[in-house]
Structure 1
Amino acid sequence: MVYIAHVRESDKEIQTVSEHLNGVKHLAEVFGGKLGLMHVAGLAGLLHDLGKYTDIFQKYIEQVAFHPDTAEMKRGEVDHSTAGGKLLFSMFHNEKNTPYEKLLTEIVGNAIISHHSNLHDYISPDINSDFLRRVRDKDLDGYSLAVERFFEEVITEKDFKQYVSNALDELMHFMDSSPTQIFFLTKYIFSCLVDADRTDTRQFEEKLREVQDSQNENLFASYYQKLMNKLNSFKKDKSSNEQINKLRQEMSEQCDLFADKPSGIYTLSIPTGGGKTLASLRYALKHAQKFNKQRIIYVVPFTTIIEQNAEEVRTILEDDIHILEHHSNVIDEVEEEDELSDGLITKRERLKLARDNWDSPVIFTTMVQFLNVFYAKGNRNTRRLHNLSHSVLIFDEVQKVPTKSVSLFNEALNFLKKDAHSSILLCTATQPTLEHVNHFLLKNRDGEIVQNLSEVSRAFKRVEVIDRTGKQMNNNQLADWVHTNAESWQSTLVILNTKSVVKELYEALKNSPLPVYHLSTSMCAAHRKDILNEIRELLENKTPFICLTTQLIEAGVDVSFKCVIRSLAGLDSIAQAAGRCNRHGEDDVQDVYVIDHVDEKLSKLKEIKTGKEITGNVLARYKKKADEYDKSLLSQTAMDEYFQHYYKKMEADLNYYIPKVEKDMTKLLMTTRRESDYFKAYEKKYKTKFPLALTGSYKTAADHFQVIDQQTTSVIVPYGEGKEIIAKLNSVERIEDLSKLLKQAQQYTVNLYSQALRQLKQDNAIVPHLEGMIYELRENWYSEDYGVDLKGEGEMGFMSF
């Protein structure tokens, strides 16, 4: 008898269970082998769909694939994920088994039973074990017969036991038994399984040959030569002998020399305008070649700067193919425990398979996406994790790590350094003191690449920070001040803390005789890019104008204004705002004004409010003892003082507290049995010894994790090519074409908070596509001035000022 795993919808071709299990096993072995865990990951692949050997699944797949009109069973009705975990548990988690056999069973078993949902809780807040419910307690129709068929068709029981023995050897060699490491190990094995499963399924669906793990050594060598050609061309410029350009060259060369050091966590504190992007790329390309790294990943705080950085790198490396920009997940996936991808590969399944797994040689992504890989629910995030190993990760503007995620960020980086053979570069002119918190970052000693940092900072001084916070200012006063002085200031940038006050200020100034521009995260990336291009043209022509925005412009956007006004916030934000003034030293020292804006409502913006208070204290001390700060409010001394006070004040918020379960996320994921309240409560509740080694609440943590305070949904907006992309997404069939379109669609999406999305749905402003997995915004709800317009009064005409 032929046992079916998948049926290709296009031609009804069959992939057998044996073919699929062996295909996924092989891919998982390749992915797991990167950490010396070939058999551990392969074991998950070998067992993950064992449940498809049951008669009930075979009856089900026969019905839905070949007789859908008369099918009695619904999709997702048959559990095929539990059987593999159950077999492992029954064979290797008994009293006679060793602690490592039990640990292997718990780690691999959780990955198996979760490969269509999220990793399960070993103990949940309601003091139950979802893991035990699945692998020990659940009765499965036809389970014994499925196991018999598995040992007949896939692997003999003797060979299977030997395979498990090999996995145990790997696990014992890898482990240091810390709960933190076990969490990341489990996520890594889960990532290997999910990506292997989806990759094998895609290969069958698309009739593709086997895809080997990428080897990018030759590509990186070519990139390095192109970069060096570009850097050498700078030396021929007449200005190359100027002090600033000499310093840029020196810092770039220091990055090159530093690349010969072993992988670790290092800092690159190049001042604004010091050539940070190319210097960090130089380090990454050389280090990747020397230490056989597989990819280079740039992680930036905001989507607004991905396009700029990626375009700069793409132009120098002369490559449009191998550089991925990953802004956001365009598809809205409802995460639920089901058996989707259960055999019949529909259009919905092809969309899932089309999601990128970060196997490109060079990737640009956001901090949100990076943290989601480790901590968010949804297999679309987790499948990327294994591709972070053996990589060079460059965190641009690292001070923007969300405060509540600081501990989680540090632990993820520690895993990548210690266990995943990756090298990490923390880039910013305002380095945060991440090594001085409870879950501290394992920075390398003497890990700063730039030598004589104080001297370099003085040489790069471009601005004078002028404290105007003595008297608060409202929007009317600010508008009058800007209106009166903008002509003499020439190009003027105003950065405020909330979108609402920026919008009000724009309304007050938009009829000014000078051009007035508004930038907002309510605009899609393509829209902001077009506005920034116009702004750069005005800057080049030295035409006076005004630009109003929030902090989105602060991190890495390469624009240089004559004057900047910044509403009081964290000292790092003020320093980043100052980086948009006289950025390239075109003029003598220019002014950056710090004001205290009275109209901003910060009660729900705790990070900004706290940063504002601490900066106010630093300003007061600076007035009295400027010498202690090297006579610069933006010195590293001032920044260290600011961050140490900030993290101390926010100490209770660094571990991602979850109010609903009254626990820090770090405790849900990384606590020992001895420390676990849930472990003690379980033994008290059931009056029996808890049978598992692990006590983590992985599913609970993932269910409550979101990097930004409110959940957002990506909506494709009617700007530029947005409408055309929607039309193509509705008609395209091939997974490869879907993948390309989803990447293009990122440029035309806006992330909406749930409240805004609800309002737009009520107003019939949202059009769902592809079974509600992709959303489109109707035209009247998108404005040229503001982006998404909740009032439905948007107009898209030509830019006019």
Structure 2
Amino acid sequence: MRGKPCSHPGKQLEKHLINTGNIALLMAEHYSLTLDETERSALLMHDIGKAHSAFQKRLCRACPAANTCAELCRQSPPEQVYTGHAAPSAALVLAKTGNIILAEAVRRHHGALQNLDEIKSYWINGEYADRIKELTALYTWPGMSTLGLWDEIPADFIKSFPDEISWENLCFDQLEILLPVDNPEAMSHLWLELRKIYSLLVTADRWDAAVGTEWQAKYWHPQAQKFTQFIQQKRLESQHSGRSELALWRTALYEKAVNNATQIMDKPGLYTLTLPTGAGKTLIGLSLASMAAERFKATGIIYILPFISLVDQNAGVAGQLFDQVQEDHHLAYRDDGDDKKPDYGSDNQAGEFLSFFRYWDMPVVVTTLSKLWDVMYSPRANDNMNFHRLSQAVVLLDEPQSIPVKYWDGIGRTLELISQQWGSTFILMTATQPVIIQGKELTPETVAFPKERHKIIWQNHALDIDKLPDFLDDRGWAQKDCLVILNTRESALRTYLAALKRGLPTLLLSRWLTPHDRQRILDQLIKMEHNELQRTLISTQVVEAGVDLDFAMVIRDLAPFDSIVQAAGRCNRHAQREGLAELWVIEVKDDRNRSLSSYIYDKTLLNQTRNLLNEQGILRESAIAARVTEYYRRLSSAVIPDEIWPDIIKGHWGAYHPLYDEQIPEAALLIDEDGSIEELLNELPALPPGLKSLSRRRSINRELGQHTINVGLKYLQEWDDSLSGFIIAKDKPVLEKTPFSWWILHAEGIGQVYSKDSGFIPLKYSQQYQDIVLPVDGGDF
């Protein structure tokens, strides 16, 4: 018996097809995109392959209304084996529209895009008999008339399908004759069209399936009064901290930048905003983005930050300046009790959808560079869902130099394409502007601090890690506020222990400390600075971006030149110290005589940095901007661009280039101080699957993330071997590997394997830690 086909349990197929088409059309219109008649036809046919008896029988088994449904599909002929609905749907789309791009979007809407050679292999080399077999298994039904695609409902799908020769000619013409493979510009436009329809289709399809209601557009509104209030608040804070002169300079710079941008930003396009650290660029950048959004009638503002650790902080700023701000990263979605969760009204299903798929539904989005990278380049359907959100948006890209140099050319061309074709605006904002785009500069002139704050001094010979404390003694780290930035967590821990041994008021920041403990230490540092207490901070690169700290001297292990400049932003940051503070750049080597920087950074970046520093020796702040320009010029000629753009124009649309290279394998270690982490771990597998428990799962994962660090497997295995005889309650070891492939450190190991002040302690430093730290703390294990 064949009943009316459904798309999902309890939902008739024609309603799902129509709803998906309507949602995609609403989204396209809201985000200033067009869908022509053939594109709408493809959307209306994207799931038509579900009209298959075997698939309908599966749905019936999952449908709560199956026992009362008069249209129940009780039987499936044995010869009609269900092999999926995307392929037959795509064949019908190609036959109906003659458009291979639309057919591919439908064929891959539950998977990932493919390269052109794979597409050709499927359509040109595929067997006509296979297409016929797939279509023969489908059946037509009266409700198809509501789709408006046929003058009368065909008896079956085969009669209206092309014969074998016509079909082969259609596929060959589309992929071998009409495809503009020798025209790079046309191929890039095809890539954009494919990702547009793919994005709209996948999002609309998922929305109707998961939410089941009409999608409602959310509009961006300018908030000029909020900017005025925020500036006044910051001015009062500066007065209380004794920085009134600096506040006046920042206010004047803000006004000048806004006035200048008013003259320059005459149309959507590519822009740069180059400001020194400490100039208040976050406020200026968001203000210019707001102005551009209002002027160009933008669909929204998307604020891109390089690291997750900065999203919470800057989303808080954006939340004070705009209504309806969505913070997006993999730990951003709270449960219903969290007042930071975006307001979706009474529609819990919509909130669950946005959380599960990380869809950017709010007018203002604050997210990470890695997320934007996946949105633009990942071939996976779910990653592509936000691609249409880039249309006529204002995208503020903070610290773009964090993008690997090999990708600069490719992403620059991509931003230019999207801007030209979709009327989008991209603002690249940093103190060290890389050569990614040829954009108009929004800063009125080269901006420098009211007075020089620091100078960079290059120590032109390598230094063994064991000799570093002696070098710091000679530089006077015991007498002044000092920041030491090292490239590895282990070297930071060794230097921290050396500072404690000397009795210095020392704190440590690295990713061997949990996010929870890092924030506590950062708050402690800010309080010490406010109270003008001497402090020594040993840190890894976590302190280089978005952290408002000020030191009299900075020591930086060798890094790319732009990272050195970022470190300099923590050296006499507020220009309140007499004379020029010193930033010493040194090259630290480990016990194997290998430069620690070589474990972290590309050798081309390091070589160009060495060359630049060797030429200068000492570099005053006033000369840094010119040297940054020269550094990027040299990199542009020294680094071979990656294949991002060639892949786009050659039809390699299924290729993916990860933003960052894979690091040494590490495992997640959960720090359980009081047993609460173990309780959360036990709760996770008990939660039901699907969207209904998503909010709770997200909430648990976020809490776990606050108490998790990543540690090299060899370090954990060493501790596991050492502690193998130590058992706690319920016959559990102190250090335990969970079924989730995570490790958990129970409370009995706190202070031995992990310290709330020192972070993770490798076994080989355990005795040294006990000898130095315990006498200070006066405690024991």
Query: Contact 1:526 / 1:747 at 8 angstroms: preserved in 2?
Result: no
Cα pair distance change 1:557/1:800, threshold 3 Å: farther
Cα pair distance change 1:604/1:272, threshold 3 Å: closer
Query: Contact 1:82 / 1:134 at 8 angstroms: preserved in 2?
Result: no
Counterparts of 2:299 and 2:681, CA distance in 1: 34
Q: 2:661 aligns with which of 699, 705, 708?
A: 708
Counterparts of 1:297 and 1:713, CA distance in 2: 32
Matched, 1:639 2:639: no
Query: Contact 1:371 / 1:409 at 8 angstroms: preserved in 2?
Result: no
Q: 1:154 aligns with which of 131, 147, 152?
A: 147
Matched, 1:416 2:418: yes
Alignment of 1:755-770 (within 5 A): 765=736, 767=738
Aligned to 1:574: 564
Letter in 2 for 1:635: I
What's the offset of the Cα at 1:262? 1.6
Aligned to 1:676: none
What's the offset of the Cα at 1:352? 9.4
Q: What secondary structure, in the 3-state scheme, does the structure 2 residue paired with 1:591 have? A: strand
What's the offset of the Cα at 1:160? 12
Measured on the aligned residues, the alpha-carbon RMSD in Å equals: 4.4
Letter in 2 for 1:618: L
The TM-score, its normalising length taken from structure 2, stands at 0.77
Alignment of 1:152-301 (within 5 A): 152=145, 154-158=147-151, 178-204=186-212, 209-217=213-221, 221=222, 223-232=223-232, 242=245, 245-255=248-258, 257-259=260-262, 261-301=266-306
Counterparts of 2:687 and 2:761, CA distance in 1: 28
Radius of gyration: which is bigger? 2
Q: Deviations over 1:507-527 (max 9, x none)?
A: 443444223333223444333
Alignment of 1:477-556 (within 5 A): 477-482=467-472, 488-556=478-546
Counterparts of 1:711 and 1:25, CA distance in 2: 45
Matched, 1:17 2:20: no
Unpaired runs of at least 5, structure 1: 8-13, 94-104, 162-167, 332-346, 435-440, 656-663, 672-695
What's the offset of the Cα at 1:325? 2.6
What's the offset of the Cα at 1:466? 1.9
Counterparts of 2:42 and 2:718, CA distance in 1: 43
Letter in 1 for 2:359: N
Aligned to 1:687: none
Q: Deviations over 1:37-82 (max 9, x none)?
A: 22465444322211111122112322355799x9999xx9640111
Counterparts of 1:725 and 1:717, CA distance in 2: 11
Q: Deviations over 1:728-753 (max 9, x none)?
A: 65547884772476278447536859
What's the offset of the Cα at 1:782? 6.3
Letter in 2 for 1:195: T
Q: What secondary structure, in the 3-state scheme, does the structure 2 residue paired with 1:272 have? A: coil
Matched, 1:374 2:376: yes
Aligned to 1:26: 22
Letter in 2 for 1:245: L
Query: Contact 1:121 / 1:697 at 8 angstroms: preserved in 2?
Result: yes
What's the offset of the Cα at 1:608? 4.0
Q: 2:432 aligns with which of 426, 430, 433?
A: 430
Aligned to 1:123: 117
Counterparts of 1:271 and 1:159, CA distance in 2: 67
Counterparts of 1:245 and 1:594, CA distance in 2: 32
Counterparts of 1:181 and 1:756, CA distance in 2: 48
Q: Deviations over 1:447-494 (max 9, x none)?
A: 1111221xx325353112122x22321212112333565654432211
Counterparts of 2:514 and 2:266, CA distance in 1: 40
Counterparts of 1:557 and 1:131, CA distance in 2: 53
Cα pair distance change 1:195/1:572, threshold 3 Å: same
Cα pair distance change 1:576/1:768, threshold 3 Å: same
Counterparts of 2:507 and 2:153, CA distance in 1: 66
Aligned to 1:611: 605
Query: Contact 1:526 / 1:748 at 8 angstroms: preserved in 2?
Result: no
Aligned to 2:587: 596
Number of aligned pairs? 684
Percent of aligned pairs sharing the same letter = 24
Counterparts of 2:759 and 2:544, CA distance in 1: 19
Q: 1:63 aligns with which of 56, 61, 64?
A: 61
Q: What secondary structure, in the 3-state scheme, does the structure 2 residue paired with 1:191 have? A: helix
Counterparts of 2:764 and 2:463, CA distance in 1: 32
Aligned to 1:670: 649
Counterparts of 1:241 and 1:534, CA distance in 2: 24
Q: 1:697 aligns with which of 642, 652, 667?
A: 652
Counterparts of 1:739 and 1:713, CA distance in 2: 28
What's the offset of the Cα at 1:722? 6.0
Query: Contact 2:453 / 2:621 at 8 angstroms: preserved in 1?
Result: no
Q: Deviations over 1:746-794 (max 9, x none)?
A: 475368599789979999955456xx9xx68554686535656787999
Letter in 2 for 1:459: P
Q: Deviations over 1:142-172 (max 9, x none)?
A: 62463744744533325999xxxxxx9xx99
Letter in 2 for 1:539: E
What's the offset of the Cα at 1:2? 2.4
The TM-score, its normalising length taken from structure 1, stands at 0.75
What's the offset of the Cα at 1:306? 1.9
What's the offset of the Cα at 1:119? 0.8
Query: Contact 1:492 / 1:545 at 8 angstroms: preserved in 2?
Result: yes
What's the offset of the Cα at 1:714? 9.7
Q: Deviations over 1:314-368 (max 9, x none)?
A: 3x3386xx3333233799xxxxxxxxxxxxxxx9x98897232011222222211
Unpaired runs of at least 5, structure 2: 68-73, 155-173, 334-348, 722-734
What's the offset of the Cα at 1:194? 1.2
Matched, 1:470 2:467: no
Q: What secondary structure, in the 3-state scheme, does the structure 2 residue paired with 1:635 have? A: helix
Query: Contact 1:32 / 1:42 at 8 angstroms: preserved in 2?
Result: no
Cα pair distance change 1:244/1:317, threshold 3 Å: closer
Q: What secondary structure, in the 3-state scheme, does the structure 2 residue paired with 1:379 have? A: coil
